[in-house]
Amino acid sequence: MADAASTPGASGSGTRSGSKQSTNPADNYYLARRRTLQVVVSSLLTEAGFESAEKASVETLTEMLQSYISEIGRSAKSYCEHTARTQPTLSDIVVTLVEMGFNVDTLPAYAKRSQRMVITAPPVTNQPVTPKALTAGQNRPHPPHIPSHFPEFPDPHTYIKTPTYREPVSDYQVLREKAASQRRDVERALTRFMAKTGETQSLFKDDVSTFPLIAARPFTIPYLTALLPSELEMQQMEETDSSEQDEQPDTENLALHMSTQALPVGLDSCETGVCDLLAVEPLVSPGGTAHPAPRPQACAPLGQMFRDESGAEKENTSVLQQNPSLAGTRNGEDTIIDNPYLRPVKKPKIRRKKSLS
């Protein structure tokens, strides 16, 4: 079932034996693929309103398109391996696209645009012989915007999910118990990890591992950590102020807190990405299938995922918005107040020469 998902760059072209130019099947494969890309570029150019194009420029564009697609594949693979999987899922690709600066929101609309040109299927000589796997059920037909030469949907059993979730745990006691023990576990694991990786102190001379205390480390400016509320607290303050009715399940909330705390809340997109991953994970797992969701089927979760992502983004921006509001408060008032400390510093007068000694 692993063959169902495939990297976009490699899809849709089979090898052609007995080619004119070369006897090497691999070369043929690449040539065929490139030709397809060329057709794609040409059709896009036509779509964009070009009548003709120089060969060199078409070649260049082809080269660019090829690199772009390869990069998506490479990057998606990295992301999937990062999460200890071997098969990229839709989310890997989405993350890749986001990472590459692509606005994923526009993709579905683009795919369904009216004036798009349908490219003829690449010349298929002989289909690679794939061992006939056990088929079960009827494969879904392609939706209209997917060319028919693209691979077929995998067997339904690989993606159709049967909602088998348990009755959501609503018992207050259990929830509290769960939240408490989960937090405790996280805290213990985290502190143990810190203790293992750093210097420790111990209360017992003979045993340094049972109750490891992270070594006391003096600060250069001790009052800052002691007085300023931590980012977690600031975030919390924000949350309790703005959304009392926030009814997220405890566990997720906690995961988010832990994650945002563990990582410095920064502006860079990398951090957003990590947040997304965390937000996405629970979406995959409740389905109960460890199987990576194949691409075409993922249309429905796609929208859901974007919603979710924008939610996470909102949360992040709200944290960030808070900082300027805390730090840059005196801008508004300065203009009207006459206070000697706010007056500009005078330039020295020539006359005014103080000798100090």
Partner 1 sequence: MNKKKGDKGFESPRKSVVVSLYSRIGFVELTIFPTVTNLNRIKLNSKQCRIYRVRINDLEAAFIYNDPTLEVCHSESKQRNLNYFSNAYAAAVSAVDPDAGNGELCIKVPSELWKHVDELKVLKIHINFSLDQPKGGLHFVVPSVEGSMAERGAHVFSCGYQNSTRFWFPCVDSYSELCTWKLEFTVDAAMVAVSNGDLVETVYTHDMRKKTFHYMLTIPTAASNISLAIGPFEILVDPYMHEVTHFCLPQLLPLLKHTTSYLHEVFEFYEEILTCRYPYSCFKTVFIDEAYVEVAAYASMSIFSTNLLHSAMIIDETPLTRRCLAQSLAQQFFGCFISRMSWSDEWVLKGISGYIYGLWMKKTFGVNEYRHWIKEELDKIVAYELKTGGVLLHPIFGGGKEKDNPASHLHFSIKHPHTLSWEYYTMFQCKAHLVMRLIENRISMEFMLQVFNKLLSLASTASSQKFQSHMWSQMLVSTSGFLKSISNVSGKDIQPLIKQWVDQSGVVKFYGSFAFNRKRNVLELEIKQDYTSPGTQKYVGPLKVTVQELDGSFNHTLQIEENSLKHDIPCHSKSRRNKKKKIPLMNGEEVDMDLSAMDADSPLLWIRIDPDMSVLRKVEFEQADFMWQYQLRYERDVVAQQESILALEKFPTPASRLALTDILEQEQCFYRVRMAACFCLAKIANSMVSTWTGPPAMKSLFTRMFCCKTCPNIVKTNNFMSFQSYFLQKTMPVAMALLRDVHNLCPKEVLTFILDLIKYNDNRKNKFSDNYYRAEMIDALANSVTPAVSVNNEVRTLDNLNPDVRLILEEITRFLNMEKLLPSYRHTITVSCLRAIRVLQKNGHVPSDPTLFKSYAEYGHFVDIRVAALEAVVDYTKVDRSYEELQWLLNMIQTDPVPYVRHKILSMLTKNPPFTKSTESPLCNEALVDQLWKLMNSGTSHDWRLRCGAVDLYFTLFGLSRPSCLPLPELGLVLNLKEKKAVLNPTIIPEVVAGSQEFPGSQDEEEVDMDTVHDSQAFISHHLSMLERPSTPGRRAREHHHHHHHEHKKKKKKHKHKHKHKHKHDSRDKDKEPFAFSSPASGRSVRSPSLSD
First to last CA, the chain: 89
Would you say 179 or 278 has its CB closer to partner 1? 179
Least distance CB 96 / partner 1 (angstroms)? 32
CA distance 319 to 298: 31
Least distance CB 349 / partner 1 (angstroms)? 8
What letter represents residue 81's amino acid?
Answer: E
Least distance CB 273 / partner 1 (angstroms)? 23
Residue 201 is given by DSSP the state E
Residues in the chain: 357
Least distance CB 301 / partner 1 (angstroms)? 29
Least distance CB 239 / partner 1 (angstroms)? 8
Q: With the CA atoms of 306, 309, 315 and 316 taken in that order, what torsion angle do they form, in degrees rounded to the nearest 10? A: -130
Would you say 115 or 173 has its CB closer to partner 1? 173
Least distance CB 351 / partner 1 (angstroms)? 12
CA distance 319 to 234: 8
CB hemisphere CA count around 44 (13 angstroms) = 12
Would you say 114 or 245 has its CB closer to partner 1? 245
Least distance CB 315 / partner 1 (angstroms)? 14
Would you say 103 or 329 has its CB closer to partner 1? 329
Whether residue 29 contacts residue 15, with contact meaning beta carbons closer than 8 Å, is answered with: yes
Tokens of 10: 């490699």
Nearest 5 degrees, angle CA 35-CA 151-CA 277? 100
φ, ψ (nearest 5 deg) of residue 88: -65, 145
Would you say 38 or 200 has its CB closer to partner 1? 200
Tokens of 153: 């949907």
Would you say 11 or 261 has its CB closer to partner 1? 261
Least distance CB 302 / partner 1 (angstroms)? 31
Q: Of all helices (H) and strands (E), which one includes residue 34?
A: helix 25-48
Would you say 164 or 357 has its CB closer to partner 1? 357
Give residue for tokens 């089927």: 297
Nearest to 294, CA basis, from 89, 123, 75: 89
CA distance 317 to 327: 16
What letter represents residue 110's amino acid?
Answer: Y
Which residues 6+ apart lie within 8 Å of 30 measured at CB?
none
Would you say 15 or 200 has its CB closer to partner 1? 200
Q: Which residues pair with 201 in a beta bridge?
A: 213
